[in-house]
Amino acid sequence: MQLELNKVTKTYRGKQAVTDVSMRIGPGVLGLLGPNGAGKSSLMRILSTITRPTSGTVTWNGTDIVARPEPLRRVLGYLPQDFGVYPNLSAREFLRYLAAVKGLSTRSAKERVDELLELVNLTDTGSRPVGKFSGGMRQRVGIAQALLGDPELLVVDEPTVGLDPEERMRFRNLLGDLSSDRIVILSTHIVSDIEAIADDIAILTAGELRRRGTPEELLRSADGLVWEAIVPIDAVADIRQRATITRTVRTSQGVRVRAVAHTPPVPGARPVEPDLEDAYVSAVHTPIAPAGVTR
Ligand SMILES: Nc1ncnc2c1ncn2[C@@H]1O[C@H](COP(=O)(O)OP(=O)(O)OP(=O)(O)O)[C@@H](O)[C@H]1O
């Protein structure tokens, strides 16, 4: 089970959305992290064979997915960012309909849909119209439809947008559970979405792969770049000129500022251990990946 990208580039009318991305992806959860407009959806649409790369190649177990998309499509589950439902159908009807479109026989569709409703915890609400579902419930229908064919490759594009904190957590756990025997690629701009479940993280900015590694490797890449200081409130704007602020907390002595920078952003700032959020910010704001971090 291996997906390999080699110098993948996507250009829309002269504008580059993805530039020269090369990665080898194996089983487990790959968290694709990047700010809005970084090219995550474009990359995921390419991996899902919805869009072709402008140049570069993608292979699935050695087979080029542009020249021969079928082997990948047979084992692919895809939850797009703008997943649409038929609001008047129940979750059960909707999933059975999609199973029929996928070519499952009526009998196996019935069994598979019941199994999936159970897996995403919608058995009790499976007969209600999807239009009446909360965002989290709809996303769970989305995951169920992506799992209809028991995919080896599951691609989910920003699945936690619009979910409340509890739904986010449930959704993350579900994706984590699904990753044991398949490749799960999950895109997000929120570090905490992938922190607990991704053993492999790729950070994309302005179409380019800035970092790739395990959470530990990414943390190491931000070593020596994270600072904390307590400053008067009117000094915060000044720090912002010299560093990327990742957090501010008001305290009785002033504002505790946490910032990413190559040098102390104010005299007396103390170096602190990076967390994944710091590592992400430093990757986005540091143009060149240190040696050894890009796989
Ligand atoms: N079909 C398209 N036509 C023209 N430009 C596009 C198209 N799709 C994406 N883009 C542009 O390509 C760049 C990357 O967009 P993409 O949607 O891939 O990024 P993203 O990281 O998924 O961001 P978001 O989370 O905001 O969707 C953006 O500048 C976007 O405007």
pLDDT digits (tens, 9 = 90+) for 94-116: 999 999 988 888 888 999 999 99
Q: How far is the CA of 96 from the centre of ligand 1 (A)?
A: 32
Q: Which amino acid is at 205?
A: T
Sign of the C-alpha dihedral computed for residues 238, 240, 245 and 249 taken in this order: positive
Q: How far is the CA of 200 from the centre of ligand 1 (A)?
A: 23
Percent of the chain with pLDDT over 90: 76
Tokens of 134: 């909360």
For the chain, the maximum distance between any two Cα atoms, rounded to a whole number of angstroms, is 70
CA-wise closest residue to 160 among 274, 75, 81: 81
pLDDT digits (tens, 9 = 90+) for 163-197: 888 888 888 888 888 888 899 999 999 998 898 89
* DSSP-assigned states of every residue in 107-134: HHHHHHHHHHHHHTT-TTTTTSBGGGS-
CB 17 within 8 A of CB 23: no
- What residue's CA is closest to ligand 1, atom 6? 12
Quote ipTM for the complex: 0.94
Q: Sheet of 226-231: strands edge to edge?
A: 244-251, 254-260, 226-231, 270-271
Residue 9's pLDDT is 98
Pocket test for ligand 1, best of 16, 42, 189, 284 (most atoms within 8 A of CB): 42
Mean pLDDT, the chain, rounded, equals 91
At residue 3, φ and ψ (nearest 5 deg) are -115, 130
At residue 144, φ and ψ (nearest 5 deg) are -60, -45
CB 259 within 8 A of CB 227: yes
